[in-house]
Amino acid sequence: MADDSPNTHVDIAPSEVLIELQNVKKYFPIMAGVFSRHIADVKAVDGVSFAIKAGETLGLVGESGSGKTTVGRCILRLLEPTSGEIFFEGRDITKLGRQEMRGLRREMQIIFQDPYASLNPRMNVGDIVAEPLHIHKLARGKDVEARVNDLLRTVGLSPYHANRYPHEFSGGQRQRIGVARALAVNPKFIVADEPVSALDVSIQAQVVNLLQDLQEKFGLTYLFIAHDLSVVRHISDRVAVMYVGAIMELADREELYERPLHPYTQSLLSAIPIPDPRAEIRRERIILQGDIPSPVNPPSGCRFHTRCPIAFERCRLEVPAFANYGGHYVACHAVEQLGGGQPDIRPSAAARPA
Amino acid sequence: MIDRAASRRRPFIGSAAVSAGMAWLAVATLMCLVGPLFWHYDPDAVDVVHQYLAPSSAHILGTDSLGRDEFLRLLLGGRISLLVGLVAAIVSIAIGTLYGTVAGYYGGAIDSTLMRIVDVLLAVPTLFLLLFLSSLFHGSLLSLILVIGITSWLGPARLVRGEVLSLRERDYMQAARSLGASDVRLMFRHLMPNAFGTIVTTATFMVAGAMLAETALSYLTIGVRPPTPSWGNMLSSAQKDIFAGALWLIVPPGLAILLTVCALNFVGDWLRERAA
């Protein structure tokens, strides 16, 4: 039976929830003309709700421009959400003042995609990693150095790296520096915003493993934003799929990868190459028609209907509910008609739900 | 980033103009600083008997209308002119950097207001402002420096603001914000050090501009007051000496100003291209 309310997470006990988003929206206004009239909005995030359990990794996947990075920055309040609530340990952080938010910054941190842009080129590594300690007065004098050395060792660097500048390091090493900086405040929650997308494949695994080790060691909770479905599968406990500012599907990792319900998720997963030539030949790819729609003017009804191979009349008219099928959330009219079944969207399948 | 690191290490092979400019600045500064220690004349002693002496081995640039050694006065005047140029540039850069950083960092209404003020002030002719202020505060060297400084910070403010606008969206700024860094820390630890290249480049042009302003004011006799020599007031007094036939008095200070300002501009251009 479908549960229409996106705000109840029946499969998660309230005490387990670390972060919860309720109907979060972030619109960027478009101004034009001499008097800067407000003519439209880029609806980067348009009503997103999900919860993250303490200690888990929630993967957030989607194409470029789907709004996944914006979700991450809203949680940290690097961007102010236009509306909606974000709860951290039961407190609505969208209402916190500057000073209260400052305290909370010790609990939540972010790791960036571009390890070349996320480190201040004018500061040496020691100063970069020590900055959070100074800001929150977590250490002083000799303790700072000891703590910095500790952090560098934790992420697989050496204390002698502290006197060097970011440009002297490789991409993977720089990402480790970024991780050390995030860890300095002992956070509970880290938004990893495509932390390995900019790295060589050989280095990606090292950084992903580092993140997993740290999660185990410090009991961290991650929101892991990525567009690489294989990496997300490797690290996530649950995975959410975003499309043009909204979440289409959210389920446990194995469930999502083995039995994707939403046609968008199915098409995404069909694009993953299989590292076995015999299987790769048999792989049936579902190629979507058209481009990702503009978030300024998202499609009516289901926002995927313009590209969905099985879209029907209702999809154009009515926004599908983000319904819960035993912990597997999906927003799709076809799935609803099948009572939580998997619609067949392969080009070879003739049958279409009416 | 990699290219930038490489270019930083690349040996300096500037154009001939840049090399010559740097050499001139080094030699001129050194001579003005140390020269007077070895050139034993009294710069202020009036010796009318020896007025308007043509250049000779005793007075290599001759003497002026009061019989003072022109070469010594050129060196001492250089000290004053360079000092005024340097300190006034520092004053204008300091004001401009602070102003531009605040405008660029806060953005929005604060930025609009601050930059409209700059636009309005830019509409006031600088020379008029200089004349007005220096006639009000005519007197010490310090007031001259401050007057030049506070009339020339508009350009640097605009440049720094532009730079800060692009820097403030960088990931390392977001990272520092997510760490809870204060506005002051973000501006002083993250924005200003990264705008340093722009600031230094602008500073070079500012020194040249301030020296020209000093010259202009001294020429109009509201700058550096005689008997203290400066290149500007030497030029001014040399003008009437032309009629006494003492052509050698007008060439040295004029040439000194011309060469120094040119050298600073060459070096500034080179720095700007190098940063880009």
SS3 A347: coil
Q: Are A49 and A21 in contact (CB under 8 A)?
A: yes
- CATH number (domain holding residue B139): 1.10.3720.10
In whole angstroms, what is the distance from residue B166 CA to residue B189 CA? 16
Report pLDDT for B231.
86
The answer to the question of residue A160 being in a domain is yes
- Which of A301, A302, A273 has its CA nearest to residue A285? A273
Identify the band that residue B15 occupies on the pLDDT scale cut at 50, 70 and 90: confident
- Which of A65, A18, A32 has its CA nearest to residue A46? A65
Q: Kindly give, in sequence order, each residue whose CB lies less than 8 Å from that of residue B159, ignoring residues fewer than 6 positions away.
A: B96, B100, B198, B202
Residue A354 pLDDT > 50, yes or no?
no
Cα angle B249, B255, B257; round to 5? 110
What residue of B is the nearest CA neighbor of A127? B189
Residue at A311: amino acid letter: A
Q: How many CB atoms lie within 10 A of CB B58?
A: 11
In whole angstroms, what is the distance from residue A266 CA to residue A243 CA? 13
Mean pLDDT of chain A: 86
B170 in contact with chain A, both atoms CB, cutoff 8 A: yes
List, for residues A28-74, the tens digit of each pLDDT value. 988 887 777 888 888 889 889 999 999 999 999 988 888 889 999 99
Alpha-carbon distances, residue B25 vs B205, B210, B262 (angstroms):
14, 16, 10
Report pLDDT for A152.
92
Q: Which of A101, A103, A181 sits opposite B175 (nearest CB)?
A: A181
In whole angstroms, what is the distance from residue B252 CA to residue B231 CA? 9
* More confident site: B136 or A352: B136
Report pLDDT for A349.
58
Q: Are A42 and A295 in contact (CB under 8 A)?
A: yes
List, for residues A16-31, the tens digit of each pLDDT value. 889 999 999 999 988 8
Q: Are A20 and A94 in contact (CB under 8 A)?
A: no
A85 in contact with chain B, both atoms CB, cutoff 8 A: no
Domain extent, residue A62, equals 14-29+42-260
The answer to the question of residue A274 being in a domain is no
Cα angle A188, A193, A196; round to 5? 110
Report pLDDT for A109.
92
The answer to the question of residue A299 being in a domain is no
Q: How many domains does chain A have?
A: 1
Residue B65 pLDDT > 80, yes or no?
no
Report pLDDT for A238.
93
Identify the band that residue B6 occupies on the pLDDT scale cut at 50, 70 and 90: very low
In whole angstroms, what is the distance from residue B158 CA to residue B152 CA? 11
Q: How far is B178 from chain A (nearest CA, A)?
A: 6
The answer to the question of residue A86 being in a domain is yes
Residue A274 pLDDT > 70, yes or no?
yes
Identify the band that residue A177 occupies on the pLDDT scale cut at 50, 70 and 90: very high
Selected residues 41-80 of chain A with any CB under 8 Å from a CB in chain B: 73, 76, 78
Report pLDDT for A271.
80
Q: How many CB atoms lie within 10 A of CB B188?
A: 13
Domain extent, residue B49, equals 2-275
Residue B1 pLDDT > 60, yes or no?
no
Residue B2 pLDDT > 50, yes or no?
no
Report pLDDT for B52.
66
Contact A122 B193 (CB under 8 A): yes
The answer to the question of residue A116 being in a domain is yes
- CATH number (domain holding residue A65): 3.40.50.300
* Interface test with chain B among A120, A125, A185, A225, by most B beta carbons within 10 Å: A120
Cis peptide before B226 (omega within 30 of 0): no
What is the rounded average pLDDT of the residues A294-321? Answer: 88
SS3 A123: coil
The answer to the question of residue A220 being in a domain is yes
What residue of B is the nearest CA neighbor of A102? B180
In whole angstroms, what is the distance from residue B144 CA to residue B17 CA? 31
In whole angstroms, what is the distance from residue B180 CA to residue A170 CA? 27
Q: Are A144 and A136 in contact (CB under 8 A)?
A: no
Selected residues 174-233 of chain A with any CB under 8 Å from a CB in chain B: 178, 181, 185
Residue B161 pLDDT > 90, yes or no?
yes
Tell me which of A113-122, A130-139, B140-149 is least confident. Answer: B140-149
Report pLDDT for B180.
86
In whole angstroms, what is the distance from residue A45 CA to residue A346 CA? 29
Alpha-carbon distances, residue A329 vs A18, A105, A251, A253, A299 (angstroms):
19, 30, 6, 12, 21
Q: Report chain A residues whose CB lies below 8 A from the CB of B194.
A: 120-122
Residue B45 pLDDT > 60, yes or no?
yes
The answer to the question of residue A244 being in a domain is yes
- Please give the structure tokens belonging to residue B170: 């960088």
List, for residues B24-36, the tens digit of each pLDDT value. 888 888 888 887 7
- For chain A, helix, strand, coil in percent to 5 are 35, 25, 45
The answer to the question of residue A18 being in a domain is yes
Q: Kindly give, in sequence order, each residue whose CB lies less than 8 Å from that of residue A256, ignoring residues fewer than 6 positions away.
A: A238, A239, A241, A249, A250, A265, A328
Q: Which of A78, A116, A132 sits opposite B1 (nearest CB)?
A: A116
Percent of chain A with pLDDT over 70: 94
Q: How many domains does chain B have?
A: 1
Mean pLDDT of chain B: 82
In whole angstroms, what is the distance from residue B207 CA to residue B210 CA? 5
* More confident site: B53 or B15: B15
Q: How many CB atoms lie within 10 A of CB A201?
A: 9
Q: Report chain B residues whose CB lies below 8 A from the CB of A197.
A: none
**Which residue is associated with the tokens 């930059």?**
B115
In whole angstroms, what is the distance from residue B68 CA to residue B48 CA? 9
Q: Report chain B residues whose CB lies below 8 A from the CB of A102.
A: 180
Residue A215 pLDDT > 90, yes or no?
yes
In whole angstroms, what is the distance from residue B69 CA to residue B61 CA? 7
ipTM over 0.85 threshold = no
Q: Are A236 and A263 in contact (CB under 8 A)?
A: no
Interface A-B: count of C-beta contacts within 8 A: 66
**Which residue is associated with the tokens 């003072």?**
B68
Counted residue by residue, chain B has a size of 276
Tell me which of A286-290, A302-306, B166-170 is least confident. Answer: A286-290
